[in-house]
C-alpha cells in the first residue's frame, strides 16, 4: 500500500466515525411513558414550552434531548416526628407521584432529573412533620390516622403541583409510638370501650323498663275503659247469650236449679 494513502485513509475513517456519531445523536426515539425537552446551546437555550411526545424525532447534533420517564413513581419514607404533645412518633409513608407531562421543561430547568431527591423527598418530610405536629400521640394511634393522611395529601399535593409534580396518593403504612406509651393508650382505649359497653347495657335496660311501664299503663287504661263501659244490663245480656249457646250444645246436659243472684239460671252439665 502506498504510504501516502495511509494518512488519507485514517482521516476518512475518523471522519466516518465522527459522522456516524453525529447521525446517531440526531435520531431519538421516545418510548411510551417518556417525554423529552431540547436544549439548544446556539439558539435560545432550553425549550421549556415544547415537550416531545413518544415517537421518533430528529435533533440537530449540536442540540441535546433530555428524556424524562414520566410514569408514576413510588417513594417510601420512614421518619420520626413530634406530636402536638411533644412525643416522638415513628411513621412510615408511601407517596406516588409523576411529573406534569406538559411542564417537563420547567421541572428540568429548576430541579433536573434528580427532582425526586431534590424536591419530592424534602417536601414529603416537611409536610409529614408539619401535619403530625397538629395531633396528639393518642389521636394518631387511634382515631385520626385517616384525617392525617388526607391533610398530608392536601398540603403536599399543593406544594408539589406548584413545582410541576403531581401527587397521586399518600399512604400511611404504620404509626409507631414508644412501647410504654402504646401500652398505656391501649389500656385507656380498652377501659373506654368497656365503659361504653356498660353504658349501652344500662341504656338497653332503661328502655326495657320504660317499655314494661308503658305496656302496664296501657293495659290498666284499657281495663279502666272496659270496666266503665260494662253495665249490669250488658253483663246480664252477655250471660243470657252464653247460657243459650251452652244449652244448644249437643254434648251438654243442662240442669236448671233455681236462679242466680243476678237472675240468670244456674246451669250444670257434663
Range of lowest pLDDT (25-34, 44-53, 160-169): 25-34
Rounded to an integer, the average pLDDT of 43-50 is 89
pLDDT reported for residue 246: 64
Structural contact between residues 204 and 174, judged by C-beta atoms closer than 8 angstroms:
no
Which DSSP string do the residues of 102-119 spell out, in sequence order? GGHHHHHHHT-TTHIIII
> How much of the chain is in helix, strand and coil states, percent to nearest 5?
50, 25, 25
Give the pLDDT confidence of 88-129 residue by residue, as tens digits.
888 999 999 999 999 999 999 999 999 999 999 999 999 999
DSSP assigned state of 43: T
DSSP assigned state of 120: I
pLDDT reported for residue 3: 60
Residues 244 and 260: their CA atoms lie apart, in Å, by: 16
Structural contact between residues 71 and 98, judged by C-beta atoms closer than 8 angstroms:
yes
Domain 73-177, CATH number (from 3.50.50.60, 3.40.50.620, 3.40.30.10, 3.30.479.30): 3.30.479.30
3-class DSSP state for residue 219? helix
Average pLDDT, the chain: 80
Alpha carbons within 13 angstroms on the beta-carbon side of residue 58 total 2
69 pLDDT exceeds 80? yes
Rounded to an integer, the average pLDDT of 53-78 is 91
Which DSSP string do the residues of 69-96 spell out, in sequence order? E-S-EEEEEEEEEE-TTS-EEEEEEEEE
Q: Which residue has the higher pLDDT, 208 or 162?
A: 162
Q: Which helix (H) or strand (E) holds 37?
A: strand 34-40
68-to-182, 219, 258 alpha-carbon distances in Å: 45, 83, 118
For 123, counting Cβ atoms within 10 Å of its Cβ (0-12 exposed, 13-18 middle, 19+ buried), the class is buried
Residue tagged 405536629 (cell numbers): 133
197 pLDDT exceeds 80? no
Sign of the alpha-carbon torsion through 219, 221, 224, 225:
negative
168 pLDDT exceeds 90? yes
For residue 74 the three cell numbers come to 413510588
Q: Where are the domains of the chain?
A: 5-69, 73-177, 186-229, 238-268
pLDDT band per the 50, 70, 90 thresholds, residue 258: very low
pLDDT band per the 50, 70, 90 thresholds, residue 6: low
Rounded to an integer, the average pLDDT of 208-219 is 84
Whole-model pTM above 0.75? no
3-class DSSP state for residue 205? helix
3-class DSSP state for residue 31? coil
Angle between helical axes of 121-132 and 145-161 (0-180°, round to 10): 140
Rounded to an integer, the average pLDDT of 149-175 is 94
Amino acid at each position: 500500500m502506498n504510504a501516502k494513502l495511509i494518512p488519507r485513509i485514517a482521516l476518512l475513517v475518523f471522519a466516518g466515525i465522527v459522522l456516524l456519531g453525529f447521525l446517531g445523536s440526531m435520531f431519538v426515539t421516545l418510548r411510551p411513558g417518556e417525554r423529552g425537552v431540547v436544549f439548544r446551546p446556539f439558539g435560545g437555550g432550553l425549550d421549556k414550552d415544547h415537550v416531545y411526545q413518544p415517537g421518533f424525532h430528529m435533533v440537530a447534533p449540536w442540540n441535546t434531548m433530555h428524556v424524562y420517564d414520566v410514569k408514576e413513581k413510588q417513594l417510601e419514607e420512614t421518619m420520626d416526628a413530634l406530636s402536638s404533645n411533644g412525643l416522638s412518633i415513628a411513621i412510615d409513608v408511601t407517596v406516588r407521584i409523576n411529573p406534569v407531562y406538559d411542564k417537563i421543561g420547567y421541572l428540568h430547568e429548576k430541579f433536573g432529573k434528580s427532582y425526586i431527591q431534590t424536591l419530592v423527598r424534602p417536601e414529603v418530610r416537611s409536610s409529614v412533620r408539619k401535619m403530625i405536629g397538629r395531633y396528639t400521640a393518642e389521636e394518631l394511634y387511634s382515631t385520626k390516622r385517616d384525617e392525617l393522611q388526607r391533610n398530608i395529601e392536601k398540603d403536599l399535593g399543593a406544594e408539589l403541583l406548584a413545582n410541576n409534580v403531581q401527587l397521586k396518593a399518600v399512604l400511611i403504612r404504620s404509626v409507631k409510638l414508644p412501647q410504654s406509651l402504646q401500652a398505656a393508650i391501649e389500656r385507656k382505649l380498652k377501659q373506654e370501650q368497656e365503659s361504653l359497653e356498660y353504658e349501652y347495657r344500662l341504656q338497653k335496660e332503661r328502655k326495657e323498663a320504660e317499655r314494661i311501664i308503658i305496656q302496664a299503663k296501657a293495659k290498666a287504661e284499657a281495663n279502666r275503659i272496659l270496666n266503665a263501659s260494662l253495665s249490669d244490663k250488658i253483663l246480664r245480656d252477655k250471660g243470657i247469650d252464653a247460657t243459650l249457646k251452652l244449652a244448644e250444645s249437643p254434648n251438654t246436659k243442662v240442669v236448671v236449679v233455681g236462679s242466680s243472684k243476678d237472675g240468670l239460671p244456674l246451669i250444670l252439665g257434663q
